[in-house]
Structure 1
């Protein structure tokens, strides 16, 4: 039960276990965001407040019960505190994994921004500031040069 939810979600596995044929499903045009896949064992469904009102359901968060009118009397859906605790632990570990994934994604983006330009020829070299070209052998006609740093100490 999530009294602050803004949408209704029921997992396909839950529908299958309830014996609801998927032919009865219809698409919606509502947009939603912030839904993280990977919770099918933690939640069977997420129900928003207007849905509670439509079915005249009353959630009681203290006792982890949901009551609503049924064709043969009051329907009561409940769980145990132990089960709720296990769900909370699983959600926390999943949330930690999501945060870790987001941090890794951000690090990858930083590395890509700092990576050398792959389009530049592999043999090219850009000299650092404070360097100059000097002939390797001033007596040779080959004209081979080497770059040396101009700001080196005498040591």
Structure 2
């Protein structure tokens, strides 16, 4: 990745929804000047970017705060972003050819899934190292003693009675759990 580690401001704020179901801690953040438009009609703004150490198909993601800062209106169907500028409305078009090249969704999903899995593994590994480092620095009297395994049932139990419902007669292993007092209508 092409960022200079010395220009990053450290960050310990996790962000979510990049890796589905998990948060990620960025390496840091940097403020960069982002400009849309042409020499005759342009719109510059400083935008804060979180820098993460994982690969996705996107190089940068402009979130809602950035879109609001530019007072832009995105239209995802037409790959179009419109925003006001000094000499009229700016229209920023997405690359339809690149979008059509990603038409093979199974390949695209498989690639993204592989990147997500790799990112998740790296994040867990990084967190494990941090926990181990903190644990090493704890005095012996403050280190937690692992609890003995209990042979009794789990302490987690539903607050209300439940029942298992077979979803398809031809596939009895596919079931759902429902409240026991619910009607089967």
Shorter-chain TM-score bucket reads 0.3 to 0.5
Considering fraction of residues, name the structure with more helix. 1
Larger RCO (CA within 8 A; separation ≥ 6): 1
- Pair member with larger Rg: 1
TM-score, scaled relative to structure 2: 0.33
Considering fraction of residues, name the structure with more strand. 2
